[in-house]
Every structure is written in structure tokens, then in C-alpha cells.
Structure 1
């Protein structure tokens, strides 16, 4: 049977944050953009606490008003708790010494079903064609790549494009179809999570403008997230190695409640929470990597390429950065310039990812926790670390970006003395 054939300039697989922002940026260049999204929006997704760096990409894509007017929960920082110790980072600290420092110091905490839909509708408003419920079945990379897709009614068709951007997230379409997947060097961790109606008292001291990250009272490599939303609910989850999570029996809800119950602070904070808002979900072995972030006629965006860990909420920021870099490369391509995708896309993207990676490794080993809970904190060092926590992991002027491994190791040693 001969399948119908279509053509577009840029085909994007996935309408999540990376796909929608890439589409909006490309539409600003005048490109013809088609997005194929397997799901129907709105749909649930995890990764709900944004970083201020994300706002720059949203603004550059022309989607800032869409996001601001959606009414999401304002966020200005992160609070860390372990036992009786607590420390807070206000992302606006990065401006304390230099009021003219570029970038944002605040952002939002979002329910991703709504947030992703806002971005997708914004990309449509800017002229991107978006098809929900359309699944990509196969991909032929090359100078003129092709995909075979299936519409909701079961009809299959072929799309030929100048270039394909895989923004399929955890589905990791091209890595699976093209055998690009590579093992992550992180242990097999998992997350169990849900949304609850938190009913946290106003006099509890809980700051709804910050994500709360709580370390397990006995296990330095087990932690909880509490992300408040603007509607009185919060996202609640625990992250640990699979061997730890497997100790707990019962339903996913019973397991999550049992682990949360081991922390006195969270137990007290969520004493009045209602747990019947949403089913409890889990993701296991989420860390991923690929052999290459690009190939003939395609590039991988966001989680389709690499996912580290949720501890510093870096996922959406990395997705947006990949969208920005890819759109810039395509702008040069359509201007008739030769594009080196390794040098101009993969290497810059992985530079910031490596900065986040070193901080994630230090967190689970306990070193970074010693740093943030240390009683004596030098203001300039704190400000530079705060900048990275705010998502500015590509700012080479920051010594903790330019020389992450050595500087973080020295600081760990000092704070361990």
C-alpha cells in the first residue's frame, strides 16, 4: 500500500517543553514547523519545579505572557531540611553584589499538565502546526529524513523534512528506534510520587514560594520533594535507589506514605493532607544517556537525549537550553552556513549538563549537603552556588561552572573538616 506523503521544513516529535519552545523559536525565524504529539493534552507529567534560567528561554521564545497569565505558583528559591538543620537559597541572591546581573531570579512551580498545554497552545498561536494523538512509528535519518506516522484513526502516512527534532521526553523515540541509547553512570534510582491537597497551616513556617527538599533522617542518599502549587495542592515524592524502595510492601500509595512517615518534619507538615487527589505513580531507572545527541538530519532535545536526576529540578531547564541551541543551529543552516552540530550543539549543551551532574553526584555522596548545611558560609561562594541552583549552569564567568569538579571538591573538603 502506498502511503500519502507530506513535507515540512522542521518536524518536531513531542509537544512538551522542549518541543513547544523549539517550535516557537523556529516560527520566529519564519520556519515551517510541524509537531507530532502521541498524547492528547492536557496530560500528566512530572518535573514541576522550574528554575529561573528557564524564564529566559520562555521569554526568548515569545511565550512569556502565556506563562505569566496562566496563574502558576510563584517560586523564588529552594529550602533544604535534614533533621533539625534547615537552609534556604533565595535565587535573587545572585543579584546581591551585582544588581545588573543578567537573567531572572524568580520563576514558577507548575502542574505540568497545565504548563505543557500553555506552551503548546503558545507554539500554535505562533503558527506551528500541532497534531495531537499522532504517533511516529519509524524514522529514516539522512540528508532528507523521513518518518512514518499514524493518525488517531489508524491511517499511516509519511512526512519528509529538512530536519527532525526529537522532543519525545522519556519516550526517547529516536534513541530507541536508532539504537542510540547508552547506559547512565548513575545507580538505578526511582521515584514514587503523587499530588495531595496539603492543607499546610499558614503558621507552619512553610514557604510556598520555595520548593522543599528534605533528606531522609537516616539515609543521606534518600530525599523527598514537596512542591506547592497555587491551588492548595502540592507534588510530593521520594527518590531513592531501587533497593531501598523495594523494602516497602503494599500499594504505591502505602509505600509512599510509609517512607514519608519516617521523616518527623514532613509527617508534621502534612498531618492534614488529603491523599485522594491523584493516583500514586512511580518511575524506576529514569537516568539515561545516549551515544550522540545528533545525527544525519536530526538532533535530540531534553530528556530524549539525557536525563540526570530530579534533585535540582534541572530537567526543564536543560530541555529549554537544548531547544535554544538547536534553533540557533537551524537558523545558521537556513542562512546557508555550515553547521557543526557537535561543536555548536552537543558540546555546549553537555557543558551545563556536566555542571549539574557534578552537583548531583556530590548531593548523593553527601558532600554537597555538608556544604549547604555548613554553619559558616562565605557570601560570594554562596552566591555562586545559588546561581547554579537557579539554573545558570552555562555561565562560564562563574568559577563553579568553569571549574566545577575542582572547586566543589575543595569546598567539600573544607566543609567536612
Structure 2
């Protein structure tokens, strides 16, 4: 139980939410010497979905000295990931540990992983209080008596309640990391916007006794992602260290609704969810084989609306949004915790900069807006490119892509995709489609052995600084240096080019600290965390 009497009436920085974004932001700020209080509505450990990590999470954990705690816990090692989008082609495999075994990630039980982060925050000086729900915020009066918008108003205090009492805490700065609740975005700013192309629903359960992907090899325990044969969505298969496997189905809301309606005609309504879940597993033949001898452990099938959303603003006067409180994309690329860490670090860096006077609050807030919005858009484009393949659609709801964020996201891709740095800066729908066509090859059906074989044959195409090859260029190539190109070679070349523009998505703090946005980059030296004005 939390020590309710110890909840202060004032704190320098208030963090709402103890998930990865909140714990991370709070830890970073506390390690910089700031007074931080974190209020979490649940008591940890608590259940959460999102079990597959990206390798980039390791560098974020290293930055707050938490990596060893996670390593020692015994989570299932994730050496890579297998993706099968076409039933008549081999799956693609991304090897995380080929160069260095320490580059792998983990499949985690989130209740345990999140508790490690929250306890680490407390050990770093964060005042952590569980079982405390923030019910409302108080903002300063607007300068204009007729103004009602909260976006440009300073937040002053938060009212909280528990099962036994309630109170109020004032603050100088606030980070909303309250997950999908997103109290600032949904209750006050009302600026959450949903992506029509990714109105999905997920259903999942836990199995025991099944097989794994490529057992007794270096790829054992790699998660498996597979497109459903009816083109309605995809399935995940994630082995966990507690002897269970997380198995889920993600599909469009429309497809799910139609399937459920048909099943309701043949069975009681209470049986539909489980029946649909098992039926859809049958649409993933590769996963079905690994579940051949497995038993469903879950008594109930969990469900959630995986609606992709973002916010029109992620920062304002003394407030920041981080993690799912600001944006959620889709579970396909396991980007949730990565974006939570990145958003938490951005929120902490921008607040530290304002407190230390390195720049004004308007500049700090603008940096966080750009950092979160750009990161979201880059992942969104890659996810949409994959969904175009899964659903065999030629177009998606591209109007959902924010034009300004796309321009910033595309800035680092233009030279690679187009082979030049000076191009027409005006955004076009064709440019978005071309980018998605390029990005989709990040999951081209290749294997590490194929990549090494092609690299040995055409080393110049893989050399540092070698230009990326557009899909059109690869398709037009019949030979290289007199050697004919087969389909496997083309797939490897396409994947190699796509990786050049998506590597930044999976990089951790190195890329985080070097990218200039709004005229600033982040100084990640402990004790001096903040924004640095880029020289012109």
C-alpha cells in the first residue's frame, strides 16, 4: 500500500502513470537532481500487453543504468524476428545478434518488466505512489477572458484520489504518461485523432506446451508474425520465460464485426469471442503448426481496440505527453516500449532544458512536439506499408498522415530514396506512396544466409555510403557485374535498401541525441541533460 500521508502537496515535476514512459521520464529527471513525484493508479505488478521488445530498448535502459536489472531477471531472449506476409514465399527473418550477441532484445512479461522499471525509478529518488488516480487538473486562468483552449495555458495542480482518501498536489511541470487514458489529451485538449486506416481489434490468449520457431538453433524464441490467409489481419506468436506463449490476432474492426455476426448465427453470444479467436488461428498456417501440441491456458480471451491515434500537440506550457498518452500506432513492429522510452526521454530532456534556462519553454515544448510527432510518423509509414501488403490494398487513408510530420520524417529519407538532397519540398500523395513502397521491403522474404551470400557476391552494393536502390531500379536490373539476378537476390537488395532508411527507427539513444529538430539537439551527458542550440 502507498504511504498516503507522504504524498506531497507540491513537487517540481509531477508524472502521471508508472508504465514505461512515466517510469523512464521520472527516472531521467530524478537522476538529474530534480524533485519528481509519480502517481500510478494501479498497484504493481499489474497486467499489460505488449511483450516483444526492440533492440533499441537496451541503449535506453543503459542510459538510466537499468539494463543489468532486466538482463538478470531471466526474460526470454529475443535473437530476432520472423515475418511471413506471403504464404507462398519463405518468411523474412531479421537477425539482431548476428554481429554481437549483446544486440538482442527480450520477450517480456510486462507485469514484471514494468515493475522493474517502476522500482528502479524509486531507487533513483522518484517519489512513487501507487493506487493513486489523478482525477482532474487545474489550469491557470487564460490571459484572454474569452479563451477556452487549454493548449496554451499552464497547468497548476492535480487532484487525486485513492480508495481511502483524496488530495491535491501542485507542480511546476507535469508529464502525462497515463496510457490510453491520456487525461490531458482526452479530457482537456481534446486533441486525439484516430487513424482510419488502422482501426483494428486484437484478441489474444496464452498457450502452453507448443513448439517454437526453429528450436535448437540461434533463432529459437524469436517471435513469429504471420499475415492471415483471408487478408483481414495478422497473428503474433511470442514465447515467454514463464513457459507460456502469447498468441494474438489483429484484424480490422470491420472484418472482426462481420465474422462475429456470422458466428452469432450458430452459437451463443458468450462463445463467439473464443470461437473467432480459434478460427482465426487457423488462418495462420505457420503459427498453427507451432501450436499443434499446445493447449490454451487462458480461460478468457482478452480483447482490445487497437485503434491507432496521435495528438495534434504533445507539449505546451509546462506540460508534456509521453507514451500511449500521446500516440499509439500498432503492435506489428513492437514499437510501443521504444516510443515510450523515446517520448519519456524527450519529455525529460525538454523540461530539464527549460528548468536550466538553456532555452525558453516555448522552444522546449516545440522540440518535444517535433520529436514525438516525427518518431510516430516514421513508424506509422512503415506499419502502413506492411498493412498494404497484408490487406492487398493499393491505397490507405493517407489523409491521416500529418503533412508537417511527414516532411520532417522524410527529410532523412529523401537523399536515400531519391539519391539527392535538393528536391521539391512540397508534400505529395505520390511521395508518401513511394515511401511506403520503399519501406515495405524492410520485411522482404529473406534469410540471413541469403543476405551474406548476396553481400559476398556484390560487396560494393553493401559498402558504407553505398546508395540505396529504389524498387524500380532493382526490378529493372537483370545482372550486376555480369551475374544474373534471381528473385532471392532482388529481395535481399530491396531489404538492404529499405534498412538504410529504417535503421533510425531501431536505433536508441545514439540517434536520439544527434538528430536536430526545431534548431536543437539533446545533450545526453548526465548532469547536463537538456537541449543544445544547433550551430548554423
Q: Same fold (TM over 0.5)?
A: yes
Cα 1:278–1:372 change in 2 (3 A) is farther
Distance 1:162 1:278 in 2: 46
> Would the aligned equivalents of 2:205 and 2:297 in 1 still touch at CA under 8 Å?
no
**Which residue in the other structure is 1:114 paired with?**
112
Deviation at 1:395, TM superposition (A): 4.3
Distance 2:509 2:273 in 1: 35
Cα 1:42–1:21 change in 2 (3 A) is same
Q: Secondary structure at the match of 1:69?
A: helix
**Which residue in the other structure is 1:346 paired with?**
369
Unaligned ranges ≥5, structure 2: 1-6, 141-153, 264-270, 390-436, 446-486, 515-536
Q: What is the correspondence of 1:51-62 to structure 2 with a 5 Å cutoff? A: 51-62=54-65
Cα 1:5–1:122 change in 2 (3 A) is closer
Q: Of 221, 235, 249, which aligns to 1:209?
A: 221
Unaligned ranges ≥5, structure 1: 399-417
> Would the aligned equivalents of 1:15 and 1:37 in 2 still touch at CA under 8 Å?
yes
| 1:276 and 2:315 aligned | no
Q: Secondary structure at the match of 1:265?
A: helix
**Which residue in the other structure is 1:405 paired with?**
none
Distance 2:45 2:173 in 1: 27
CA RMSD, 1 decimal: 2.8
**Which residue in the other structure is 2:334 paired with?**
313
**Which residue in the other structure is 1:149 paired with?**
160
Cα 1:27–1:137 change in 2 (3 A) is same
| 1:78 and 2:81 aligned | yes
Deviation at 1:370, TM superposition (A): 9.2
**Which residue in the other structure is 1:410 paired with?**
none
Distance 2:512 2:162 in 1: 45
Distance 1:112 1:362 in 2: 28
Q: What is the correspondence of 1:126-165 to structure 2 with a 5 Å cutoff? A: 126-142=124-140, 143=154, 145-153=156-164, 155-165=165-175
**Which residue in the other structure is 2:532 paired with?**
none
Q: Secondary structure at the match of 1:183?
A: strand
Q: Secondary structure at the match of 1:312?
A: coil
Q: Of 444, 460, 484, which aligns to 1:372?
A: 444
Deviation at 1:263, TM superposition (A): 2.4
**Which residue in the other structure is 2:473 paired with?**
none
Cα 1:201–1:315 change in 2 (3 A) is closer
**Which residue in the other structure is 1:88 paired with?**
93
**Which residue in the other structure is 1:322 paired with?**
343
Distance 2:115 2:31 in 1: 20
Distance 1:91 1:136 in 2: 40
Deviation at 1:125, TM superposition (A): 1.1
- The structure with the larger Rg is 2
Cα 1:357–1:394 change in 2 (3 A) is farther
Choose between structure 1 and 2 for higher RCO, CA contacts under 8 A separated by at least 6 residues: 1
Distance 1:279 1:13 in 2: 30
**Which residue in the other structure is 1:13 paired with?**
16
Q: Size of the alignment, in residue pairs?
A: 386
**Which residue in the other structure is 2:277 paired with?**
256
Q: TM-score normalised to the size of structure 1? A: 0.85
Q: TM-score normalised to the size of structure 2? A: 0.67
Distance 2:297 2:32 in 1: 46
> Would the aligned equivalents of 2:55 and 2:506 in 1 still touch at CA under 8 Å?
yes
